[in-house]
Structure 1
Amino acid sequence: KASQDGITATPTLVIKDKQSGRSIKLQGAPDGDVLLSAMDWLASRPTAGDNQ
Structure 2
Amino acid sequence: MAAALVLNQPDWLAEMHYTLAEAVGRVGSKWLALIPEAARILTYEDGQPAATET
TM-score range, shorter chain: 0.3 to 0.5
Tell me the TM-score normalized by structure 1.
0.35
Write 1 or 2 for the structure with the bigger share of helix: 2
